[in-house]
Amino acid sequence: MVRHQEPVSARQSGPGPVRTCVGCRVRAVDAELLRVVLVDGAVVPDPRRRMPGRGAWVHPEPGCLAKAEKRRAFPRAFKVGGALDVAGLRSEIERVAGGVGTGILPPRGGTEEAGRPVMSQP
């Protein structure tokens, strides 16, 4: 049986790109995940998603970070050998997990995006 697929341009766009958390391996919309990058051997958060280089995605929860460390997922995701420093990322995720409404994820939609007003068409 041959399945007919619509061209990519004809498909309706969803809520956004889907990424996989390197910790729990669950696929989620990118707005639910935190992008992290490798800077001088340290894994650092990239909440604005603008830093150069290969990125990896993780839920901003201590449990997912612990799973990623246990699975040695960050060296694989960044395609480097050896252990990586995640202390800065861990402290940031724990700080955010302790406070409500102080997320490190960028706001989606609304009146501002990336620090500048968003223009909308009527």
| Whole-number Å distance between alpha carbons of 91 and 70 | 17
> Residue 111's pLDDT band (boundaries 50, 70, 90)?
very low
The model's pLDDT over 78-108, given as tens digits with 9 standing for 90+, comes to 999 998 999 999 999 999 888 654 456 555 5
Q: What is the mean predicted confidence (pLDDT) over 110-118?
A: 51
Q: Quote the CA–CA distance of 65 and 70 in Å, as a whole number.
A: 9
**18-98 topology per CATH:** Hypothetical Cytosolic Protein; Chain: A; (3.30.1230)
Do 114 and 46 touch, CB atoms closer than 8 A?
Answer: no
- CB 58 within 8 Å of CB 64: yes
Sequence ranges of the domains in the chain: 18-98
Does residue 74 contact residue 86 with C-beta atoms inside 8 Å? yes
